Amino acid sequence: MKCIRSEIIGHGHFLPEKVLTNDDLAQMVDTNDEWISTRTGIKSRHVAAEKEYTSDLAFNAAQMALKTAGISAAELDAVVLATVTPDNTTPATSAKIAARLGVKAGTPAFDISAACSGFVYALTMADNMIRLGQAKTALVVCAETLSKITDWTDRNTCVLFGDGAGAVVLRAAEGEGTAADTGVLATKVYADGSQFDNLLTNGGVSTTQTAGHIWMNGKEVFKYAINSLAQGAEDVMSMCGVKAEDLDWLIPHQANIRIISGVGQKLGLPEEKVVVTVDHHGNTSAASIPLALSECMEAGKIKKGDLVVFNAMGAGFTWGGALVRI
């Protein structure tokens, strides 16, 4: 049955210039490259400059996405930003980016706070708007400056995170209603607030009037991560009658190579179909998936027609998946 699909017509990413290696971190806290590499798979991450904000990263990624889409910002009908590190508590950073890009006044813009699941949530909301006819062309941008909420004296967390941004432009297109269509084929998002205390900042506007620093119960997050990431992927595949062997790529949230490999194995995917960027990005929360997607598309690794699953899990806990034909 004919239906409206949200096609990805543009992709973009941006990373701050400064790179922090594991050896650099070993100068700051009691750690070493061997521990970080074997426990997480991370070798280096990018870190924003003091006056470089989430909106700057998002703006640059969005500009690249508009350029690869071959459209102007004036053609956008919606701007959705996923972040846990907004420039200001209010207004939404998406509104700032929209104005800077030259989006028409009156175009809806809003931020989504779903931590590392931010891209899957933002894609879901933008896709829903498009399928309902509320927007024809939408920008989904995910950007984080996690370095600003990292406790640089805590070796348990400071080695894990990085800054960066990724973006996609979605446009409505007519589909046949089958898995052979191009565009977003299925999305599914979840949350379980009983896990709130296992991954959070130890501060917030209403509680401490500070942003706080990231804290996590790493082992609990780890245990939950593999199952929830697998669920995100399996559900969207079963919604479309797609099997793991039909996939060209899995782009999981990039937090830890052991989690990424565990999810790939649980889904029965060969290693070469599982995208890994955590080695040079670290965990960039909401930005990790669109950043990885855009890097792979720029390199010509992921191509038009490829069938891809995005799956993510993060604070909340939140998790979910999206099945997309590029």
Instruction: Return residues touching ligand UT7 (CB under 6 A).
Output: 31, 35-36, 39-40, 116, 155-156, 159, 218-219, 221-222, 225, 255-256, 259, 283, 314
DSSP three-state, residue 111? strand
Residue among 70, 170, 179 at smallest CA distance from 128: 170
Q: Which of 137, 110, 176, 178 is nearest to 6 (CA)?
A: 137
Which amino acid is residue 203, in one-letter code? G
Catalytic residue selected from 11, 60, 116, 158: 116
Q: Cβ closer to ligand UT7: 64 or 116?
A: 116
Tell me how far, at minimum, the Cβ of 246 lies from ligand UT7, in Å: 27
Q: Find out whether 317 and 195 touch, Cβ atoms under 8 Å.
A: yes
Q: Which is nearer to ligand UT7, 255 or 307 (CB)?
A: 255
Q: Are 166 and 62 in contact (CB under 8 A)?
A: no
Tokens of 214: 């990231």
Q: Which pairing describes strands 78-82 and 109-112: parallel, antiparallel, or unpaired?
A: parallel
Smaller CB separation from ligand UT7, 36 or 291: 36
Q: How far is the CB of 250 from ligand UT7 (least distance, A)?
A: 16
Bridge partners of 187, per DSSP, are 322
Nearer to ligand UT7, 95 or 200 (CB): 200
At its nearest, how many Å lie between ligand UT7 and the CB of residue 40? Answer: 5
The Cα diameter of the chain in Å comes to: 60
Q: How far apart are the first and last CA of the chain?
A: 20
CB of 310 to ligand UT7, least distance (A): 15
State how far the Cα of 249 lies from the Cα of 271, in Å rounded to an integer.
10
Of the candidates 196, 192, 228, the residue with the CA atom closest to the CA atom of residue 312: 228
Minimum CB distance to ligand UT7, residue 277 (Å): 14
Please state the closest distance from residue 238 (CB atom) to ligand UT7, in A.
24
For the CA atoms of 5, 59, 84, 167, the dihedral, rounded to the nearest 10 degrees, stands at 30
Residue with token string 């609990």: 220
Closest CB to ligand UT7: residue number: 218
Q: Is 88 a catalytic residue?
A: no
3-state SS, residue 52: coil
Active site residue 116: yes
Dihedrals phi, psi of 284, to nearest 5 degrees? -105, 25
**From 22, 60, 283, 311, the catalytic residue:** 283
Q: Is 13 a catalytic residue?
A: no
Least gap, CB of 122 to ligand UT7 (angstroms)? 16
Alpha-carbon distances of 18 from 54, 143, 164, 279, rounded to whole Å: 15, 16, 11, 16
Q: Is the peptide bond between 91 and the residue preceding it cis, with omega within 30 degrees of 0? A: yes
Residue among 253, 281, 296, 311 flagged as catalytic: 253
Within 8 A by CB and 6+ apart from 105, the residues are none
Residues labelled as active-site residues: 116, 253, 283
